[in-house]
Amino acid sequence: MKITEEKIDYPVEYIEIKSPRYIGDYAIRVFFSDGINRLVDFRPFLESSLHPSIRKYLDEVKFKDYQIVDGNLNWNDYDLIFPIEDLYKGGL
């Protein structure tokens, strides 16, 4: 008898964010519906942006005020949102 390990790969379009946790310093540990979790550092993205509607999230109080909407990490009614695929890969 041969034992093999079966790996189930979920297409990213079927993966949702289940329970993000703010770690500090603009980093969020993102837990996905397939059991994977990633630590995503948003600081470089926020600091490199020149757009005021993005830079306003350098205010940590505003940044920490996110929600899960339709399986996505969302700030202020889609004011700031990132593709799940990028978050799943651990980057932006």
pLDDT tens digit at each of 92 positions of the chain: 444 444 455 555 689 999 999 999 999 999 999 999 999 999 999 999 999 999 999 999 999 999 999 889 999 999 999 989 899 988 88
pTM for the complete prediction?
0.82
Give 66's strand partners.
75
DSSP state of 35: S
The confidence score (pLDDT) of residue 77 equals 92
Say which CATH topology domain 12-89 has.
NE0471 N-terminal domain-like (3.30.2020)
In whole angstroms, how far apart are CA 91 and each of 1, 6, 80, 84? 42, 27, 15, 10
Give 81's strand partners.
74
Residue corresponding to tokens 């059991």: 35
